[in-house]
Amino acid sequence: MAADNARFATRRNKLRRLMKKEGVQALLVSNHLNVTYLTGFTGDDSYLLVTKDKEIVLSDSRFTTQLEYECPELDVVIRNSGDTLIKAMRKMVSSTKATELAVEADSMTWSLSRSIDDGLKKVTVTPSSGLVGQLREIKDKEEIKDLKFAVYLAEKAFSVIRASMHGGQTEVEIAANLEHEIRRFGGTGCSFAPIVAVGYRAALPHATPTDQKIEADDFVLIDWGAAGRGYMSDLTRVLVTGKPSAKLRKVYNIVLKAQMAAIETIKEGATMAQVDLAARSIIAKAGYDKYFGHSIGHGLGSEVHENPFMSRTSDRPLKAGMVVTVEPGIYLPGWGGVRIEDDILVTKKGFEVLTNVPKQFDETILS
């Protein structure tokens, strides 16, 4: 527990340095994932106030014992059932002598921020965005271990699904089985609702599973991820369930070539636009540029979609410690779609592919 406390204290001190740089006197953290990141507290409906020399958690009596166990080093204000949130918050902020308070504009509702502003008569309330998010982009060693565990869960579940797949199964059934297997291997569930799309339905990048059976076409796209230890994974594979057509092989290998080119581009200092362009140029050269509409990838962590977002217009450089997906695709209406996705750690020397599910075309063919 002591080592964890030190890790969270280090994160809060990094936040303080960032706050000082941005001229933020006090920050009210309302995003529950940000609260967890900074304190280790895994409950919800709670807030963290950070100043240059204090940190205070505002919560309620449901979490008294949990707070004592998970972050005993923090000052805690427990709101009684008879106290309004604003009253308790006024008391907490007043104890810090702060005259300015920044709130997380990306997670706090407009009405709550107005109520805080109205309730804190002697404090100026201002919006803030992305302070904790900047810290969360760079994963530490423990976070990388947890992300690798989430990858392990996803891969183990997929191996079971693949081995037991048969033509009579439906998209919905496979999606449900993925959830079951992830939990069976020790996860808390899927990191998002799995996408299972047979044949022509794979032209929908975010297809919702239906009663369509596997045997209805000769391939199926599966996009899934696992949640475990508070972190998420995200993978996509296409499985060939019938006789592979020449068109499927062609489109698949174009996407695979594009993905590998994008992954090879990843290194500290490379821009996100460069990674996107590496894949997009290959797909465009093959004549399918208008059939690849989304960005090349996104960040992974305690959310399945988080900063950084790697678009063709982003000139932001990659940094060691970022974990991102690389997921080019080609989607042809009426025929189907192919997407291949892996989770990649940016390192000082280049990259590390965290996922290890076979993806050469012949390896996707089921017997």
Per DSSP, the residues of 61-118 read GGGHHHHHHH-TTSEEEEEPTTS-HHHHHHHHHHTTT-SEEEEETTTS-HHHHHHHHH
Q: Do 33 and 14 share a structural domain?
A: yes
In angstroms, the CA 191 to CA 234 distance is 8
- 258 close to 280: Cβ distance less than 8 angstroms: yes
Q: Do 30 and 86 share a structural domain?
A: yes
Q: Do 168 and 206 share a structural domain?
A: yes
Amino acid in position 147: L
More confident residue, 19 or 89: 19
pLDDT digits (tens, 9 = 90+) for 223-242: 999 999 999 999 999 999 99
pTM of the full structure? 0.95
Identify the pLDDT of residue 90. 86
Q: Do 64 and 150 share a structural domain?
A: no
Residue 299 has pLDDT above 70, yes or no: yes
Q: Do 126 and 247 share a structural domain?
A: no
Q: Do 145 and 131 share a structural domain?
A: no
Per DSSP, the residues of 274-306 read HHHHHHHHHHHHTT-GGG--S-SEEE-SSSSSE
Residue 4 has pLDDT above 80, yes or no: no
> Residue 47 maps to which CATH number?
3.40.350.10
Residue 3 has pLDDT above 80, yes or no: no
Q: Do 174 and 245 share a structural domain?
A: yes
Q: Do 147 and 60 share a structural domain?
A: no
Identify the domain containing residue 194 by its residue range: 141-364
For residue 10, give both structure tokens: 């280090």
pLDDT digits (tens, 9 = 90+) for 115-148: 888 888 889 999 999 999 999 999 999 999 999 9
Q: Tell me what the mean pLDDT of segment 358-367 comes to.
A: 96
> What's the Rg (C-alpha) of the chain?
23
Which of 105, 136, 167 lies at the terminal end of a domain, its last residue? 136
Q: Long-range CB contacts (< 8 A, 24+ apart) of 284-290?
A: 286/254, 288/251, 288/254, 288/330, 288/332
Helix (H, G, I), strand (E, B) or coil at 47: strand
Q: Tell me what the mean pLDDT of segment 170-193 comes to.
A: 98
Q: Do 162 and 126 share a structural domain?
A: no
pLDDT digits (tens, 9 = 90+) for 249-282: 999 999 999 999 999 999 999 999 999 999 999 9
Residue 297 has pLDDT above 90, yes or no: yes
Amino acid in position 139: K
Which of 136, 157, 180 lies at the terminal end of a domain, its last residue? 136
Residue 1 has pLDDT above 60, yes or no: no
Q: Tell me what the mean pLDDT of segment 32-56 comes to.
A: 96
Q: Do 287 and 175 share a structural domain?
A: yes
Number of domains in the chain: 2
Q: Do 130 and 221 share a structural domain?
A: no
Which of 91, 114, 136 lies at the terminal end of a domain, its last residue? 136
Q: What is the mean pLDDT of the chain?
A: 96
> Residue 330 maps to which CATH number?
3.90.230.10
When pLDDT is cut at 50, 70 and 90, the band that residue 86 belongs to is confident
Percent with pLDDT over 70 in the chain: 99
Q: What is the dihedral of CA 142, 143, 149, 155, to 10 degrees?
A: -150
309 membership: H or E segment, kind and range: strand 306-310
Q: Do 199 and 314 share a structural domain?
A: yes
Identify the pLDDT of residue 315. 96
